[in-house]
Chain A
Amino acid sequence: MAGPLLVAVAILATPAMAEDAAKAEDVTKIIPDPVTVVMPKLDFTETEADRADYDKYFYFHRADTGFEEALADLRECDGMAKGLQSGIQYQQPPYPYAGTMAGAAGGLLGSLMVEAIAGSAEKRKLRRVNMRRCMGYKGYARYGLQKDLWQEFHFEEGFSGEEESKRQAMLAQQAKVASGTKPVTGELGI
């Protein structure tokens, strides 16, 4: 059993990951001025194919919600969706040192088991489901979007994650949309 764990620790302990994590620490706390956040394009001519993909490609909006509040909600749900809150550093250490064998065994085993059971596509799906539940419970309505437009300010994460600064920039755009003008298209439900 120690073999796979050691391999996992070695994989997680790459310097590149450590550097990314070090950068991530700062960007996750920054609250950008909403004026500087580019409002993404949301209008498009809907087709049947678009409607068929609304379970994957969507955005959130809630009335009477400010940018900062929406960003906090999105960040919280993003953490929940991915399992990124406090414990995740134990499961996916931001630098080599968090992977101490005694403490990390359980978390690593859990992560490896989940990854072994669920493929990358399943992980992406799980993230979508978790975001929808978390934001839905917070009272945000969901609206469909065309895939190309969606990709401009959203990310999907399977086995590989997006760089944290890009994730945060996209979350800020999502917050701008979530706290902006109420969409005229129909709500999709959780």
Chain B
Amino acid sequence: MIARFTMVAAAALLSMSVPAAAAEKAPKKEKWATKVIADKPRPVTIDPTKSYILVRSPAQIAPVLMRLPNAEQAAAHEVERQEAFARVHRSWRKRVASIELDAKVADADPSKRRKPPEPVEADFGYPSYEQKHTVFLGPQNRFSKVDGSAYLQEVPPGEYIFYAVGATCACLGTVSFDAPAGKVVALELSPTNNPEGTTPFQIGAATFADVRLPAESVLPAAFKPAGMRSNWFGIAVDRVLPIEGVFTYERGKQVAGGVAAIAVPAPEASSGDPVAGQP
């Protein structure tokens, strides 16, 4: 009887605490799973409901990618965040009630007992959607070792950002790319070491041919500037180098369009060496 009452009370408390948006419509929990495609002799079967990201690099590296949410996924994540906050707030209420009860039993002034501060939703540290949808590749389990390293990962379709390699993130400026269903999106990635101490990332679209992959399924990645990202892991920060025709930097901020697009007038660019005129 007591157990049943407790359950009913808990259910009532829960219903009071869950935000209205969550109570009205609870979005379906998103399934999140990725799979390494390792170096095996047999052909890769492309699942038409999945995407594949292929990262090529001259050396063995450990790239980190993150999926960006679409509007529906962002809304679902926000509901999860609110629910998590409601749970935390409920715990706080219980803790305060317990402290007050203890004081009452001890015949002490409850206001003199030190109580934890009330959680504030604006400061609630809940992991971002990107943190919860992270893809770790390498440095082992390469798909190919020919001409460097190639890593292949099966992922849910969507838009992904390049976040880091090892313990250095591209937090000061990165790019995103689409990974459509049934396709292998190929990109080239290599960390650099500049004499002045910076370690920016060279990233670009890649071509990739391998008898184990259907040639028509492999696409070069098409990049979009994705701005700065939080240093979620407290690691070294750097950025992606400007990509011609995609973006450059002005005072640390990404500006759409590339170096050549700004520096080279259109008539000259179309008649001469496309590389000429770059700074």
Decide: B238 and A85 in contact? CB cutoff 8 A. no
Q: Interface SS of chain A: helix, strand, loop or mixed?
A: helix
Decide: B126 and A85 in contact? CB cutoff 8 A. no
Chain A, range 47-99, C-beta contacts under 8 Å to B: 73, 76, 79-91, 93-98
Given A83-B235, A111-B234, A130-B237; A25-B114 close (CB under 8 Å): no
Q: Which of B87, B91, B124 has the most CB of A within 10 A?
A: B124
Residues of A within 8 A of B125 (CB): 86-91, 93-94, 98
Binds A, one of B18-26, B33-41, B115-123: B115-123
Task: Say yes or no for B278: interface residue by CB 8 A criterion.
Answer: no
Decide: B235 and A114 in contact? CB cutoff 8 A. yes
Residues of B within 8 A of A44 (CB): none
Binds B, one of A31-39, A136-144, A147-155, A164-172: A136-144
Residues of B within 8 A of A139 (CB): 251-252
Decide: B116 and A94 in contact? CB cutoff 8 A. no
Decide: A87 and B251 in contact? CB cutoff 8 A. no
Task: Say yes or no for B131: interface residue by CB 8 A criterion.
Answer: yes
Decide: A126 and B127 in contact? CB cutoff 8 A. no
Task: Say yes or no for A8: interface residue by CB 8 A criterion.
Answer: no
Decide: B234 and A110 in contact? CB cutoff 8 A. yes
Residues of B within 8 A of A4 (CB): none
Decide: A97 and B234 in contact? CB cutoff 8 A. no
Encode contact with B along A8-33: 1 for CB under 8 Å, 0 otherwise. 00000001001101100100000000
Query: Which of B87, B172, B196, B251 is A189 in contact with, Cβ under 8 Å?
Result: B196
Q: Interface SS of chain B: helix, strand, loop or mixed?
A: loop
Decide: A18 and B131 in contact? CB cutoff 8 A. no
Residues of B within 8 A of A6 (CB): none
Q: How far is the CB of B213 from chain A (nearest CB, A)?
A: 32
Q: Chain A, interface size: which category?
A: 35 or more
Task: Say yes or no for A120: interface residue by CB 8 A criterion.
Answer: no
Task: Say yes or no for B89: interface residue by CB 8 A criterion.
Answer: yes
Decide: A190 and B123 in contact? CB cutoff 8 A. no
**Alpha-carbon distance A136/B160, docked complex (angstroms):** 27
Decide: B198 and A83 in contact? CB cutoff 8 A. no
Decide: A100 and B87 in contact? CB cutoff 8 A. yes
Encode contact with A along B205-237: 1 for CB under 8 Å, 0 otherwise. 000000000000000000000001011111111
Residues of B within 8 A of A103 (CB): 84, 126-127
Encode contact with A along B30-65: 1 for CB under 8 Å, 0 otherwise. 000000000000000000000000000000000000
Q: Which residues in A have some Cβ–Cβ distance to B below 8 Å? A: 15, 18-19, 21-22, 25, 73, 76, 79-91, 93-98, 100, 102-103, 106-107, 110-111, 114, 126, 129-130, 132-134, 136-139, 189-190
Q: Can you sample 6 A-B contacts with CB below 8 Å? A: A76-B228, A85-B232, A88-B230, A88-B232, A95-B116, A103-B126
